[in-house]
Homo-oligomer: A and B are copies of this chain.
Amino acid sequence: MTPEKLLDRSAKLLVADWKHLKRTFILPENDASRETLVKYMEQILFGLHDFLRTHVGITEAVSLNDLSLKFSDTTINKDPVDKLANVITELIEDIGPHAVNVASPFFIGHMTSAIPFFMVHLKTIVAALNQNVVKLETSKVVSVIERQVLAKIHRLIFEQSDEFYRLHVQSRDASLGAFVEDGTLANITALWVARNTAFAPRNEFQGIEAEGLSAAYQAHDIQRAVVLVSRMGHYSLKKAGGILGIGHQNVIPIEVDAKNRINASVLEKTIQAIKNDPVKTRILAMIGIAGTTETGSIDPLGRLADIAAEHGIHFHVDAAWGGPTLLSEKYRSRLRGIERADSVTIDAHKQFYLPMTCGMVYFKNPAHMDAIAYHSRYVNRPGSVDLGIKSISGSREANSLILYSALRIMGINGYALLINHGIDTARQFAEEIERRPNFELTTHPELNILTYRFCPQELRPDLTSADLSRRRHANKKLNLINHKIQRLQRETGKSFVSRTTLKLEKYEDEIVVLRSVIMNPMTHIEILKSILDEQEQIYLAELGDKTVRTVQNTLP
């Protein structure tokens, strides 16, 4: 069939009247129309791909400003303005090229990457089934499968007995975890459960969920509730503190060691100080991070588990990033201690390589989530198996079906290949950075994330100078240089690293660093070298002496 014919036929799909509208709810019976629909899918699978292959795409070729002007009409068209075929073509040809090619092996700046192409097929199945997992009446077998997947991942984390899983996998009384939108909602859910458990019903008091925080503090004779987490904790933890009513100031940042892991001694001293504080304070939870967002560092989970056990504190592990490392025989020991957590966050859209988005939260104790149960008259009735009973959201798509299928297709070993590639490649990258005189490795990769900065040789002596103001001055220069390199490289559109600011032990001030996340299996060391080369070239061509001079002029 020629493209002209295709377009011609799709003209019939314009939703102009009731007859045509109804037709969009029925898949066509005749072969020609079926072929058209399949052609669209082909266009989606390969059209997008061809465009996206060409660049990373945060280029300034078309500025944000131009795009903003293009998308400023705020009325809704009265009649259909376009046929399906044209809308798909527009998405692929006009919009796709201005999206970001997160699938590029040169895109190593964020925790978003290429996904195996079959994930797109699986997501399409989920959309076509259009099940709502909030209740059995709109999902049936899909709810049953979700329970199974939850048990599989629970087992990967907590390694309970066969008997435990036999009992709980499909039991309506047990909740081993929940699928949520993303890691933020997983962390909120974990702390929500911890909060409600800490302020459970007692005597006349009906619990914090029913009576609220103010009544809870009174009933439990408490003046403040806090959460303890390293200062590298994800910002969603502060957000959780804000939403749950304890106040984000009460999510208390604990100092880290030279490897960006929580300093357990400082943590213990903080706990002691809280216990001695005249302000009566309840510690809702302490958090271990298995893969900090900025540096991929892993807190000493075993040590934290000891402390939590000693003081009877809820121990949550934020393994949104690092959780799937458990699938790697080679590296899973780095997460030792996670099995002693009370709750764990893992994102499936990160290192399980699912499409955006799919968060998960797990609880060791299958009754723990009872603390957040809600019922209604028409669904989620008490005693039903509806998954919506213990869930922050209501209606929810069946992303669990994607993870169920992906585990079958990949197996533990398939995922292990990806995990190992990321960590091994990050190590190679670190060695390469250390070999280059114009770069400084700022954090070693414990997982597949590292940070570094451009650091021209001539500035090195200043950094180790005995003169404090000279050291600070040099870092100020470097901050400016790295800020600019990152922006210019992004705008060139060929490759992308992100940037953040870190407080390292060896420097007085926060420094600007470049951040790399190696999760794309197509990202190999030669690509990484070329990214460093480009950064060096940007410095020489655009910044060099000029920047250094500018900074010098603006400094006292």
Interface string of A219-254 (1 = CB under 8 A from B): 000011100000000111011011111111110000
In the assembled complex, A21 has its CB within 8 A of some CB on chain B? yes
Question: Given that A95-B145, A392-B185 are contacting pairs, would A15 and B409 also be in contact in the complex, using a CB cutoff of 8 Å?
Answer: yes
Contacts of A225 in B (CB 8 A): 212
CA distance A458 to B515 in the complex (A): 77
18 additional A-B pairs beyond A84-B121, A242-B374, A347-B395, beta carbons within 8 Å, are A21-B414, A26-B117, A44-B124, A58-B140, A67-B141, A74-B154, A76-B327, A77-B407, A80-B409, A81-B408, A87-B409, A127-B355, A181-B185, A188-B243, A210-B242, A211-B247, A213-B213, A235-B375
Interface residues of A in 141-194 (CB under 8 A from B): 141-142, 144-145, 147-148, 151-152, 154-156, 165-166, 169-170, 180-185, 188, 192
Interface string of A123-135 (1 = CB under 8 A from B): 1111111111001
Q: Please state if A71 and B170 are interface contacts (CB–CB under 8 Å).
A: yes
Distance of A206 from chain B, by nearest CB (Å): 7
Contacts of A522 in B (CB 8 A): 22, 25-26
Contacts of A148 in B (CB 8 A): 71-74
In the assembled complex, A530 has its CB within 8 A of some CB on chain B? no
In the assembled complex, A417 has its CB within 8 A of some CB on chain B? yes
In the assembled complex, A339 has its CB within 8 A of some CB on chain B? no
In the assembled complex, A88 has its CB within 8 A of some CB on chain B? yes
Q: Please state if A27 and B117 are interface contacts (CB–CB under 8 Å).
A: yes
CA distance A18 to B522 in the complex (A): 11
Contacts of A132 in B (CB 8 A): 102, 110, 112, 356-357
Q: Please state if B152 and A130 are interface contacts (CB–CB under 8 Å).
A: no
Q: Please state if A169 and B139 are interface contacts (CB–CB under 8 Å).
A: no
Task: In the complex, identify which listed stretch (A34-42, A472-480, A548-556) lies at the interface while the others stay far away.
Answer: A34-42
Question: Given that A49-B27, A138-B112, A145-B95 are contacting pairs, would A398 and B356 also be in contact in the complex, using a CB cutoff of 8 Å?
Answer: yes
In the assembled complex, A504 has its CB within 8 A of some CB on chain B? no
Task: In the complex, identify which listed stretch (A307-315, A427-435, A440-448, A494-502) lies at the interface while the others stay far away.
Answer: A494-502
Contacts of A26 in B (CB 8 A): 117, 522
